[in-house]
Structure 1
Amino acid sequence: MSRGRSDEKAAQPVGFPPVALGALRCPHCQSPFSQHGRALRCTSGHSFDQARQGYVNLMGSGVGDTKEMVTARDEFLSAGHYAPLARLVAHEAARDLRRDALVVDAGTGTGYYLAATLARAHAATGLGMDTSTAALRRAARAYPGIGAVAWDLWKPWPVQTGAADVIMNIFAPRNLIECHRVLRPDGTLVVVTPDSTHLSELRTYIDMLEVDADKLTRLDSSLQSQFSLTGRHDCEIELTLEPEDVHRVVHMGPNAYHVPPSALAAIRRTLTVTAAFVVSVYRREP
């Protein structure tokens, strides 16, 4: 699970997790990597430095969640507000994993859900991908056995075909072509989406982004030719939020760009709201 802000300056041992390293491919030439001190170097000579915090930036410059958004998310998740969702995701993702399994978290953020999964499947390895280096600084230290790389999920992934036993996609862009390619035959795809009622009580006070009521229908339709649905679970969590918690839950995602500070400043009392999610589990078809 996420360890909170106190770990931000913690030392990160040199070395990328071997299973994750073996799954990576150079984004320039698709050659395999090997570790050379604090760098990953492919057989063609392309080299990428491992940051002091442990992640590797394979995409160069890019965009992603800001440091402020990442801090808000880390503080909110570390308080345990979404712990029931993390347990459910971990239960589904860690089910029947082999000893040397690889779990790819596409859009890992701070690594909160990937860490929960590895805590349940101790012998597995995690590979977290995200565009936000601010988030990856935390993800790389969220749990032993996580390799974290900066990458744009809309581009072909720097991961070998059939390398992943499980792919997790939690509130993140879904590159279904790459999910199908990177998953092994009969591999598992775990997708988490917000329900249309998610945090609906907050909308009484704040003009937040709406969640599409047809989201699940469109999700199933987009996946039906390459994946089969094997399970679906609703997850509702009643939350008691102080004003600072409301600030964090708004600023940890896209609403950070849409909700004016004045709207949040007007909330000065404790609110009871419901977080509502849907966890969908799919099997990769040949």
Structure 2
Amino acid sequence: MSLADVADLLACPTCAARDLPDTPLALDATTLRCERGHAYDVARQGYVNLVGRAVPRNADGPEMVAARERFLGGGAYDAIADALADAALRTPSSAPVVLDVGAGPGWYLERVLARFADDGRPGRGVALDVSPTAARRSARSERAVGAVVADAWERLPLRTSGVDVVLSVFAPRQPAELTRVLAPGGLAVVVSPLPEHLAGLRAAWGLLDVEPGKQERLAATFGEHLEPLDAVDVRQTVPLDRAALDDLVAMGPNAFHGTDRPGPAPSEIELAVRVSTWRRG
């Protein structure tokens, strides 16, 4: 849809940098403005850039976003999307506001909003990513989604306590900031890889490894801010052809580490991720 669906959730990043947090933004034609005169033009593709500086060099480019759309559209990660939506639907909100931090092209956010609609609780979402290319794709959503370019490692340009569900799928995350934007009782749903995730493919092609202790660090950092509810492990063997494998590599961090494939292509991948749910008290 458009930023008009979520403009009331956004906060001026310039004011926040000057110790004036939570200054609301309002949409005026094709510009977001705050009461102190700071203005942010909405791109013709429908997204707004609130980064305020040059986009990082490792932001997803057109080829990465296209690869991600092709791969996710093929259904290999449907089980992850289903588990993510199952967790998100536990919010009691009748009109849920969903923030996807590191949304990419917005595929997971759209799946979650579709499930809310099927449940008779139409919601709206903010697709936040540091990549303008990804934001352009998210802005094309047919659902009530606003696309925002912002850095997940900085203060999020959202007002405090305005979000019912935060999604973080294989993405950077600051538990303190996620807690700040969540309403009391709001949920953070995090998807992170287990050590076995894509193990065969990583071994065959020399790809980046899953960092040791990743789950323990996540539990420790989130536990300082949010109440743990539960965690569900999604494990599945998925057959993939060579084109899908190439897209899987090209859509993530391995895209920045060369294209050499030293071994033969596996015929399947091991899906192994944890979907953990946390609640703000």
Same fold (TM over 0.5): yes
1:251 deviates by 1.0
Q: Distance in 2 between matches of 1:270 and 1:183?
A: 41
Residue 120 (structure 2) pairs with residue 120 (structure 1): no
Alignment match, 1:176:
175
RMSD: 1.7
Q: Distance in 2 between matches of 1:211 and 1:142?
A: 32
**Contact kept in structure 2, 1:17 and 1:125, CA below 8 Å:** no
1:223 deviates by 1.6
Q: Distance in 1 between matches of 2:115 and 2:92?
A: 10
Alignment match, 1:276:
272
**Contact kept in structure 2, 1:118 and 1:143, CA below 8 Å:** no
Alignment match, 1:82:
77
Alignment match, 1:72:
67
1:262 deviates by 3.0
Residue 43 (structure 2) pairs with residue 51 (structure 1): yes
1:142 deviates by 3.1
The one-letter amino acid paired with 1:44 is R
Alignment match, 1:93:
88
- Tell me, which stretches of 5 or more residues in structure 2 are unaligned? 16-21
Q: Distance in 2 between matches of 1:228 and 1:262?
A: 43
Alignment match, 2:222:
223
Alignment of 1:25-64 (within 5 A): 25-29=11-15, 30-60=22-52, 61-63=54-56, 64=59
Cα deviation code 1:180-209 (max 9, x no counterpart): 111111210101001110111113321111
Q: Distance in 2 between matches of 1:50 and 1:236?
A: 41
Cα deviation code 1:203-261 (max 9, x no counterpart): 33211111124211111111222112111001123221111111111111101112x32
Q: Identity rate of aligned residues, in percent?
A: 37
1:33 deviates by 1.6
The one-letter amino acid paired with 2:260 is S
- Tell me, which stretches of 5 or more residues in structure 1 are unaligned? 1-12
**Contact kept in structure 2, 1:110 and 1:139, CA below 8 Å:** yes
The one-letter amino acid paired with 1:21 is A
Alignment match, 1:147:
146
1:143 deviates by 4.0
Q: Distance in 2 between matches of 1:53 and 1:165?
A: 27
Cα deviation code 1:11-38 (max 9, x no counterpart): xx6x4243x2111011112421222222
**Contact kept in structure 1, 2:170 and 2:192, CA below 8 Å:** yes
Q: What is the aligned counterpart of 1:107 among 83, 86, 102?
A: 102
Alignment match, 1:3:
none
**Contact kept in structure 2, 1:110 and 1:142, CA below 8 Å:** no
**Quick check: 182-191 or 29-38, which moved more?**
29-38
Q: Distance in 2 between matches of 1:203 and 1:256?
A: 13
TM-score, reference length from structure 2: 0.90
Alignment match, 1:137:
136
**Contact kept in structure 1, 2:168 and 2:189, CA below 8 Å:** yes
Alignment match, 2:255:
256
